[in-house]
Structure 1
Amino acid sequence: MVSEYKDAGVDLNKLKEIHRDIASAISSTYRRTVLGAGHYSGVVEINGLKLAIHVDGVGTKVILAKRARKYRSVGIDCVAMNVNDLISIGAKPIALVDYIAMDQPSEEVISEIVQGLVQGAKESDTEIVGGETAAMKDVVNGFDLSCTALGVVDKLKTGEEVSPGDVIIGLASNGVHANGYSLVRKLLDEGKLSWKDWEEELLKPTRIYVKPVLEVLELIKAAGHITGGSFSKLRRITNYSLELTLPDPPLIFKTIEQAGISHEEMHRVFNMGIGMVVFVDRTNAEDVLRKLNPYVPSQIIGEVKDNVGQIKITTYKSQVLYL
């Protein structure tokens, strides 16, 4: 299969190889590390206190924000991409710092970004304790944005408790979120996707899942943020076979597919309407759904099987894909 995403400049397989090399190199520094590279967040233990840390940015979605001259939503995105990964290992986000790099200082851009950062921080009950704004004309074209977030862990949720028969509950996404935008922009640049029709949808901020997941944290065995690489990242949680049946996705995903992206690649790149999943013992599933749905539409989308193997996805077109 020819990968449109690779053609757009993102080779997921190559990135995985690089990540493995980095993880191998940095592991030599571990002394207090409880959970190292390769999961959703790293964890160190100091005097009995487990601290989780994560860093992420908004990616090339910032280029569309610049195009629209609307910057608040990417501030929310930046918080979301970090705190959603923290709660994926059972950490409660407590603080973050931001990093804004610009080709030239702009009060308007910075003000809107900070408004978004503050909105995201309040929604996730996280405090912004500092940051850095750098002017780097010869390095950056426009601006780039990232955050580093800190959380506290009572009990790690890394997937060790996941077992055959557990159900997988999907929490609805807010759309494309902040992944796959190199591919989206390629379609926009080629005129296959209408910026006029889809600007508002493409700039929707990533949904923040902190409150709903914390609400059910004691009832779940693991959680997974569905971002780059889509459902393949659930391999961070378990090597058991997973069978997923996905609901009808929001229209934006169908439109992107109709613009020329294969059905298989859509499910390798995008969240397809599911932004977070939680793994639950079947006996707790109804209780978890009851607690999640006031926050975010949620439903059972799959099950853990009793053998080691692939992730099987039955799509909204009733096609079967394997990751």
Structure 2
Amino acid sequence: MNEYRDSGVNLDKLREYHEGIRSLISSTYRRTIVGAGHYAGVVNINGINLAIHTDGVGTKTLLALRTRKFKPIGIDCVAMNVNDLVCVGARPVALVDYLALESEDDELVKEIIEGIVEGAKVSDSEVVGGETAIMKGVVNGFDVACTALGVVEKTKLGNEVRPGDVLLGLASDGIHANGYSLVRKLIDEGKLSLEDWEDELMRPTRIYVREVLSVLDLIKGAAHITGGAFAKLRRITEYSLEINLPDPPDVFKEIERAGVSHREMHRVFNMGIGMILFVPEDTVEEVENKLSNRVKTYRLGKVRGDQGKIKLRSYKNQILDI
């Protein structure tokens, strides 16, 4: 049975690191409105709330080297940042990138930057600079990260979420950019065919900026479903959540058939839901109508009245505590 920990990623240890880091960096806060622990930090500068976030693409870069498909990685890098910015109610305005190479690779550099530019245009933000470095002996292949800046339109931290609010899921475009250490382990073990699933595995992360901003006044919170999957909902609320997931895209079923437990699939992957909106019951229909021409939506469940677990009902009709 393949688990994420076996592929080199211990989610519990990562959470431990995050807690330790959060404790240390909080001593620097002076203008901070939202510190570490949410989807993006927010600082107040002369009366303007600015949101900032930095992220990379993880080990999906190693599959890009094997497939020579680099443009999706540039899009991923933007998406992993701007999707988090809108979760605090920020409109992305600018970003910078950092591209580190093991050695010269003209095709790689060109396609990565093309992807970053495409992602920036989809998110209505501007690439205002960056850094490219060659660091043989330090980098294996390449790594890329972005830092994105946004102006907070209307703060959405989940503080207003209450029992009865509806969880509205926005469809993903596949597995996006997390869980690839586990995916690569399955490929290396011969349990998952890269040749058969290359297009799905290299499909870029969907950018939800325009969708979320179009309904920002009608929702109470938004959660980008990435590493750690549905545990990310705890960034929005501590209330109990009951979620009924739809039938996922075939790539998730194939990964599970390759040997990943049903519960682990829902701890690691988005299972076809890339963003979850917390919506008052009386505005759900309006939100659905506004999004109908942009993205497929699913009514997943509701916020319950006590503090407790996240309970998922999977496509196999199994109840999973996350």
Equivalent residue, structure 1, for 2:232: 233
Equivalent residue, structure 1, for 2:147: 148
Q: Are 2:39 and 2:87, in contact at CA under 8 Å, matched by a contact in 1?
A: yes
Structure 2 residue matching 1:321: 3-state secondary structure: strand
Q: Distance in 2 between matches of 1:70 and 1:242?
A: 38
Structure 2 residue matching 1:175: 3-state secondary structure: coil
Equivalent residue, structure 2, for 1:54: 53
Q: Distance in 2 between matches of 1:143 and 1:293?
A: 38
Equivalent residue, structure 2, for 1:249: 248
Equivalent residue, structure 1, for 2:110: 111
Q: Distance in 1 between matches of 2:125 and 2:301?
A: 31
Q: Distance in 1 between matches of 2:276 and 2:318?
A: 21
Equivalent residue, structure 1, for 2:138: 139
Alpha-carbon distance, 1:227 to partner: 0.2
Alpha-carbon distance, 1:154 to partner: 2.6
Query: Over residues 136-174 of structure 1, what are the superposed CA-to-partner deviations in whole Å (9 max), with x where a residue is unaligned?
Result: 001001100100000000321000000000000000000
Query: What are the equivalent positions in structure 2 for 1:299-318 lying under 5 Å apart?
Result: 299-318=298-317
Query: What are the equivalent positions in structure 2 for 1:1-323 lying under 5 Å apart?
Result: 4-323=3-322
Alpha-carbon distance, 1:3 to partner: 6.2
Letter in 1 for 2:23: S
Root-mean-square deviation (CA, aligned residues, Å) is 0.7
Query: Over residues 97-133 of structure 1, what are the superposed CA-to-partner deviations in whole Å (9 max), with x where a residue is unaligned?
Result: 0000001122211001011001000000010000000
Q: Distance in 2 between matches of 1:217 and 1:105?
A: 43
Query: Over residues 70-122 of structure 1, what are the superposed CA-to-partner deviations in whole Å (9 max), with x where a residue is unaligned?
Result: 10000000000000000011100000000000011222110010110010000
Per the normalisation by structure 2, the TM-score is 0.99
Q: Distance in 2 between matches of 1:165 and 1:272?
A: 24
Percent identity between matched residues is 64
Letter in 1 for 2:68: R
Alpha-carbon distance, 1:293 to partner: 1.9
Letter in 2 for 1:175: G
Q: Distance in 1 between matches of 2:301 and 2:53?
A: 28
Query: Over residues 17-58 of structure 1, what are the superposed CA-to-partner deviations in whole Å (9 max), with x where a residue is unaligned?
Result: 000000000000000000000000000001110000000001
Per the normalisation by structure 1, the TM-score is 0.99
Q: Distance in 2 between matches of 1:103 and 1:261?
A: 32
Letter in 2 for 1:91: A
Structure 1 residue matching 2:215: 3-state secondary structure: helix
The runs of 4+ residues in structure 1 deviating greater than 4 Å are none
Q: Distance in 2 between matches of 1:41 and 1:272?
A: 23
Structure 2 residue matching 1:55: 3-state secondary structure: strand
Structure 2 residue matching 1:186: 3-state secondary structure: helix
